[in-house]
Amino acid sequence: MRFISWNVNGLKNCVNNGEFEKTFEKLDADFFCIQEIKCSKKIEITGLEKYVQFWNFSEKRKGYSGTAIFSKKEPINVIYGIKDEYEQDLDKEGRIVTLEYPEFYLVNCYVPNSKLKRERYNYRLEFNEFFINYIEKLNFQKNVIICGDFNVANENIDICKNYRDNTLNNIGFSDEEKTSFKDLLNIGFIDTFRYYHPTYQKYSWWFSDTDRDGDIGWRLDYFLISEELRKNIRKADILDEINGSDHCPILLELKLEE
């Protein structure tokens, strides 16, 4: 099965510039997950006829955040957002969509950015805490595949030296953000790209086109899988040749029962 994750940084623009539909058709994924859709209603996209669609729009602000999954397979259950022990939704910004299948959960997530002046730093750390608890509960039931923009470079190898030297303990590379990400891995998950490419430095986000041309970037986008699925990995990659957003798509191929 082929899984794609892509922060499109505005789906309408990505469709209008011609890159989304071209990429969607070319990659022919079984599951195509997108983040930061920045729309408040479904957008007509050529090629979705064979897919079931699941959209989570921001309730807090129109045209902000948001996620979606396009799947060739009908799930047995769909969960939007995350809820606390009192069944109150903790995600009002459309950041999470979960599809349940007989053998696994697929979770598409857009983790909040702490912002330059750290005005959302505490919210981001709180979100991470709730998210880890949510994932741990899912993983207790069956295997979980998580994808999305986590807004953190986990290790030195995941951030270009040009930024690393100036970003120490700053947003996207702070000790607290990295620790929070590692806490997620430590409950039983594998960073598939790093598992498959232990020493390969490759990025999924660039601050500008100039940085992208110079390969000055960050790896902010991840596929994480339950430890039990380690043996099922067939391919993990960052498709940095694909344009259309300040992020590029990432890919995961798993051998799973049909």
The domain spans of the chain are: 2-254
pLDDT tens by residue, 15-62: 999 999 999 999 999 999 999 999 999 999 988 999 999 999 998 888
pLDDT tens by residue, 55-111: 999 988 888 999 999 999 999 999 999 876 545 567 889 999 999 999 999 999 999
Query: Phi/psi of residue 158, each to 5°?
Result: -95, 5
Whole-number average pLDDT of the chain: 92
Q: Which long-range contacts (CB under 8 A, 24 or more apart) does 73-78 make?
A: 73/30, 73/31, 73/101, 75/99, 75/100, 75/101, 75/106, 76/100, 76/101, 76/102, 78/54
Task: Specify the pLDDT at position 24.
Answer: 96
Q: Rounded to an integer, what distance in angstroms lies between the CA atom of residue 242 and that of residue 20?
A: 10
Task: Specify the pLDDT at position 86.
Answer: 46
Kindly report the CATH number that applies to the domain delimited by 2-254: 3.60.10.10
pTM of the model: 0.95
Q: Rounded to an integer, what distance in angstroms lies between the CA atom of residue 100 and that of residue 82?
A: 14
| Active centre residues (catalytic) | 110, 149
Task: Specify the pLDDT at position 158.
Answer: 96
pLDDT tens by residue, 169-203: 578 888 889 999 999 999 999 999 999 999 999 99
Task: Specify the pLDDT at position 88.
Answer: 59
**Residue with the two structure tokens 């953190």:** 152
Check: CB of residue 204 under 8 Å from CB of residue 244.
Answer: no
**Mean pLDDT value across residues 216-235:** 96
Q: DSSP secondary structure string, 8-48?
A: -SSHHHHHHTTHHHHHHHHH--SEEEEE----SS----TTG
Share of the chain above pLDDT 70, in %: 95
Tokens of 199: 């020493």
